[in-house]
């Protein structure tokens, strides 16, 4: 009997041990399962995290990187730009109609024509944007500096942030021009343009009081390709070139308007020219501009080499008899929604 009682006690203890073991095992399995499920949720959240991170989980510097990747708003809009076009009465009917039909339509309120005569017809066609400078109609340096002086003074009296000068044989891609200016601040000193010579211009320093005068050198942006000045720079030029003084400097150095502009900015004010390759003048062979780059160019031009050979952009479109400058065809390539463009 005692042996049987001992056997039952041992069996009971064994059963209890097995039960406890099974209970502990089951509890561990449950806890392990809960841990595993929790880890899976966390991993899933981490996979989604790069798309939308809470600020609590942003690593140092991540916010700055994000802000850097976000494009900055442009610093210039079309209404911030004063666009002057130098012309002469002799070319009103030959050169202005194609401008008025094409790129003038892109910024009617910002574009002003500076001429040397009253012309009621084109005054009406430009909505009153013809300014008679009362300068000579000749093409000598004095007449050119006279017109540039008036252009500069009219800009200074405006509220515009940028002054951009062009000639009446230019086509201006206005949206591209505005995008360019949007990369610069009008509150800083900027002289944007393109030289037409391979080296700085050297001239005799006529301001020197020394008996043996030495040469000075400076870059200048070719007026025939167009150039732009920030208001900050223009205000620094005001004491030197404002109120008609521009003409006096041109007379002193005996050079044309665009060279005089470079002389004032680069030599007198020590502000460098920033070269913009997308400006083009009639001094360049237009045929070498590739059509797949047209949207990125800012200005185009044209000229005649001889009676048989013309310097124009190479582009299909209107018949050459209708569109000898190729500006109509170019405009329709850039802005095909205009009603006169072929469908």
What residues act catalytically?
A: 258
- Buried (b) or exposed (e) across 122-149, using 16+ Cβ within 10 A? bbebbeebbbebebeeeeebebbbbbbb
Q: What span, in angstroms and rounded, lies between the C-alpha atoms of 289 and 280? A: 10
In terms of Cα–Cα distance, which of 87, 82, 160, 172 is closest to 123? Answer: 87
Write out the two tokens for 195.
Answer: 């030289």
Within 10 angstroms of residue 185's Cβ, the number of other Cβ atoms is 15
Q: What span, in angstroms and rounded, lies between the C-alpha atoms of 288 and 297? A: 13
Write out the two tokens for 258.
Answer: 């665009």
**What are φ and ψ of residue 311, in 5° steps?**
-105, 95
Map tokens 């050119």 to a residue.
Answer: 144
338: Cβ–Cβ under 8 A, 6 or more apart, which residues? 105, 331, 332
């Amino acid at each position: 009997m005692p042996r049987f009682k001992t056997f039952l006690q041992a069996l009971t203890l064994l059963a209890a041990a097995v039960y406890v073991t099974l209970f502990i095992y089951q509890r561990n399995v449950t806890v392990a399962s809960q841990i595993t499920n929790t880890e899976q949720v966390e991993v899933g959240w981490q996979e989604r995290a790069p798309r939308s991170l809470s600020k609590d989980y942003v690593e140092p510097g991540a916010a700055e990187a994000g802000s850097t990747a976000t494009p900055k708003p442009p610093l210039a809009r079309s209404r911030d730009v004063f666009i002057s076009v130098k012309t002469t009465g002799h070319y009103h009917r030959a050169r202005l109609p194609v401008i008025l039909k094409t790129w003038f339509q892109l910024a009617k309120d910002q574009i002003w024509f500076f001429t040397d005569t009253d012309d009621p017809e084109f005054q009406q066609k430009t909505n009153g944007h013809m300014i008679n400078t009362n300068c000579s109609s000749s093409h000598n340096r004095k007449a050119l500096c006279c017109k540039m002086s008036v252009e500069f003074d009219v800009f200074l009296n405006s509220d515009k942030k940028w002054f951009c000068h062009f000639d009446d044989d230019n086509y201006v891609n206005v949206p591209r021009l505005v995008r360019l200016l949007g990369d610069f601040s009008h509150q800083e000193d900027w002289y944007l343009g393109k030289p037409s010579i391979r080296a700085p211009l050297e001239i005799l320093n006529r301001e020197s009081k020394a008996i043996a005068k030495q040469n000075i050198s400076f870059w200048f942006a070719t007026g025939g390709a167009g150039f732009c000045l920030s208001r900050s720079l223009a205000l620094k030029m005001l004491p030197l070139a404002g109120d008609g003084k521009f003409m006096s400097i041109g007379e002193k150095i005996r050079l044309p308007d665009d060279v005089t502009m470079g002389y004032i900015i680069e030599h007198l004010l020590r502000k460098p020219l920033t070269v913009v390759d997308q400006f083009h003048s009639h001094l360049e062979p237009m045929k070498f501009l590739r059509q797949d780059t047209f949207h990125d160019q800012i200005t185009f031009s044209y000229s005649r080499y001889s009676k048989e050979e013309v310097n124009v952009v190479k582009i299909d479109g209107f018949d050459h008899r209708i569109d000898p400058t190729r500006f109509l065809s170019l405009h329709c390539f850039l802005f095909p929604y205009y009603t006169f463009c072929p469908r």
